[in-house]
Structure 1
Amino acid sequence: MKVILSLFLSFFLFISCGSNSKTPHNEARDAPETFDFIIAFGSCNRQDEAQPLWDAILEEEPDLFLWGGDNIYADTDDMNELEADYREQKNHPNYKKLWKTIPVLGTWDDHDYGKNDAGKDWEFKEESQQLFLDFFDVPENDPRREREGVYHSQTFTEDGKSINVIVLDTRYFRSDLEPSDKPGQRYKINAEGTVLGTQQWKWLENELKNSTADYNVILSSIQILSAEHGFETWGNFPSETKKLEELLQASEAKNVIILSGDRHISEFSEQRMEGLNYPLVDFTSSGMTHSYSDFRGEPNQYRIGEVVSDLSFGLLKFDFDSGEVKMEMRGVGNKLQQEYLVKYIE
């Protein structure tokens, strides 16, 4: 779908075109821009609080919306309560406008999974999975109804170009986390544990090695690149991070973009990885109803630009002719908070 947007940019524009240049640009531009496909995404959404971002999301006219996890806050072993929380969110008037008009996909994180920071040992994960699938109107004959985990993929095609959306499950199989007594670090590093589990790794390997899509968007509820903050992250499982890096290099899947949530902040992280002819970006967008408003800073060696700690949602705006993807953070009133432009190679 071609969407014409008039943008007046008053924030920094960060441009990446396969070089290491991270020079900010702040010139104003008001020429109309054309996009071939728009993905909106967000995470950390309380169903029982004000949800001020749906109007702004609808204003952007996305072609697809992705839930990045913590889509509701339940934290309960009462499945009737969990079902009621999902029902409350699904009936939110402005969210209903969205899911009745465009496709909605997503993953879960801990609070909609059912227990804070829970992993493979959550005793109600099977029941929780079925309620999650109900929320997304997944048919009874869909493979996700029978297999363990909510991982999934779907390819979207527009104007001869394709985007493969790969949704990961970082809860169902994830190894236990052990509390750390080190200041500033909630959990110890687990050198041998897993994030995805054996079967999901096999599935992901098949997805990437057999992908013919022009872009591959990987949705992970927790951050992949940012690993120094001491909270939940793929970095707590360094062998899994290394395994993913090796898979991206070996698979030759084109133009992988990572989306993540969980943190109640939004930021761009970028890694220059040997064997990839594009920068690997982990775009974190987190905090649709509440955010880390008193954020004071934390290390992230891969960060590009600034951390946004206000309510926020994310956008990927694809221009297939130029190969550019504009990544935007937007807030209440559709205010542009920050953007990053990446030019991908055909």
Structure 2
Amino acid sequence: MRPTLLAATALAALGLAAVPLMAEDHAQREDTPVAVSLAPDQLLAPYYAELRKKVVMPEAGPTPALSPATTLTRIAFGSCNHQSAPQHMWAQIAAQNPQLFLMIGDNVYGDNGWDADAGLESLRRSYALQASHPEFSGFRAKFPMMATWDDHDFGLNDAGGSFPMRRWGEELFETFWGSSDAVRSRPGVYDSTITGLEGKRVQVILLDTRFFRSDLKRMEWSRERPPLGSYLPDSDPAKTMLGSEQWAWLKAELAKPADLRILVSSVQVITDAHQFEGWTNMPAERAKLYDLLADREDSGLVILSGDRHAGGIYKAEHRGETLWELTSSSLNLAFGNDNDRSTAREPDPARTTKFFSVENYGLVDIDWKTKQLTMTLKGNDSGTLAQQAFTW
């Protein structure tokens, strides 16, 4: 359903018809309509104020604080975790003993069964169900966690900044994950932290590729649908992935002293091999990201992404630097177990490995003596699917 239609449906259900307001200015006739200046998500604010008093906001439960002095040597991450699917991967990840775990999007599938209600009740129920799993709560109680979102826990498949319920989705997210005061103080859920003493400082940057993102450019309808998505690259300079405030924030974060940076994007960054969601949808925005990364305060860098229900390792060259990206997806919602078929279906010169469609999670290991980073994709039995090491 289109965001404009969603807005009209939600507002009508609440008795807030999305029609022009009546002018109060005596210079105009009393019945002269004037344009509504509030966006649909702002018009819904009074409804959410009342809803907040009535519903229980699910919480993931306590997680240990990561000491700022910790020397990070192992970080795990994953994406695409369905609340109704088996939660067997948590024990396997725990066995790897990570110091930090990153949930990088589609952490629940809250849009499954959604009926366009403004309260996003299906998303709220999804969070509550996820919190009830002892495998998840036990893992979270032991290992520090950070999170960002993707479309299915933002509120709607492929949705972006025009999604009218985004602010309520944000409140559900921030309550569930126990977001920091910095995150709660601004629109969107982007976040950053620096851990470790000088010489061993790791900066983790979690981008929000949903809250501000412009609508995507779709292919025209045809009987022959493309096998790898339906979006086109959009060169419109007005389109944005991150929004001006988040871009400014990211520039400032990349100027901070750090020895290694881990940049998290819920959608893939480097690849052009498909027409699903990704930075490939907005090539000018990706070029801007690459330039910003190239201008960062001197440090190592690795990119982590999810979304695809398959995983692999990617690389790109930009201004004399090799950019590495590890995509890990899905924790428990894989779309197949034939890695060779997935690889053949999506040929990609930027991918250095097969495209692994089995359940998987990712590891980042840091050797501070040699300044070597090793990224590993682990399967649903914790066997190694792919691995790449590089020095910075």
Please tell me whether the aligned partners of residues 258 and 297 of structure 2 are also in contact (alpha carbons under 8 angstroms): no
Please state how far the C-alpha of 1:145 moved relative to its aligned partner.
1.8
Structure 2 residue 312 is the aligned partner of structure 1 residue 267: yes
Larger of the two Rg values belongs to structure = 2
Q: Which structure has the highest strand share of the two?
A: 1
1:79 alignment partner in structure 2: 120
Partner AA of 1:232 in structure 2: E
In the other structure, the counterpart of 1:312 is: 360
Q: In structure 1, which of residues 292, 295, 299 is the aligned counterpart of residue 347 of structure 2?
A: 299
Contact 1:208/1:248, CA 8 A, preserved across alignment: yes
Whether 2:160 is the aligned partner of 1:119: answer yes
Secondary structure, aligned partner of 1:134: helix
Q: CA deviation at 1:89?
A: 1.2
**TM-score of the superposed pair, with normalisation by structure 1:** 0.84
1:37·1:158 contact (CA, 8 Å) conserved in 2? no
1:282 corresponds to = 325
1:1-346 map, 5 Å: 37-75=73-111, 76=114, 77=117, 78-138=119-179, 142-157=181-196, 160-181=199-220, 183-184=226-227, 185-192=229-236, 193-209=239-255, 211-276=256-321, 279-293=322-336, 295=342, 296-344=344-392
Q: Give runs of ≥4 in structure 1 deviating > 6 Å.
A: none
Q: Is the 8 A contact 2:363 2:376 kept in 1?
A: yes
Query: Relative contact order (C-alpha < 8 Å, sep 6+): which is higher?
Result: 1
CA distance in 2, matches of 1:252, 1:44: 32
Assess if the C-alpha contact under 8 Å between 2:104 and 2:306 holds in 1.
yes
Q: Kindly provide the CA deviation profile for residues 162-192 of structure 1, in whole angstroms up to 9, marking residues without a partner as x.
A: 1100000000011101321373441122112
State the aligned residue count. Answer: 305
TM-score when normalising by structure 2 = 0.74
Given that 2:199 and 2:259 are in contact with CA atoms closer than 8 Å, whether structure 1 keeps it comes out as: no
Q: Distance in 2 between matches of 1:226 and 1:144?
A: 29
What is the root-mean-square deviation in Å for CA atoms of aligned residues? 1.7
SS at the partner of 2:157? coil
Any idea what the Cα deviations from partners look like across 1:10-45, whole Å, max 9, x if unmatched?
A: xxxxxxxxxxxxxxxxxxxxxxxxx95111000011
Residue by residue over 1:119-176, the C-alpha shift from the partner in whole angstroms, topping out at 9 and shown as x without a partner, is 001111001101101111125xx13223110001011216951110000000001110
Separation (CA, whole Å) in 1 of partners of 2:126 and 2:281: 30
User: Structure 1 274/159 Cα, relative in aligned 2: closer, same or farther at 3 Å?
Assistant: closer
Give ranges in structure 1 of 5+ residues lacking alignment: 1-34
Aligned partners of 1:53 and 1:331 also within 8 Å: no
Identity of aligned residues (%): 36
Instruction: Return the structure number with greater helix share.
Output: 2
Deviations 1:247-292 (A, max 9, x none): 112224411110000000100001122243xx21111001111113
Matches of 1:81 and 1:171, distance apart in 2: 19
Q: Give the gaps of 5 or more residues in structure 2.
A: 1-70
Query: Which sits farther off after the overlay, 235-244 or 252-261?
Result: 252-261
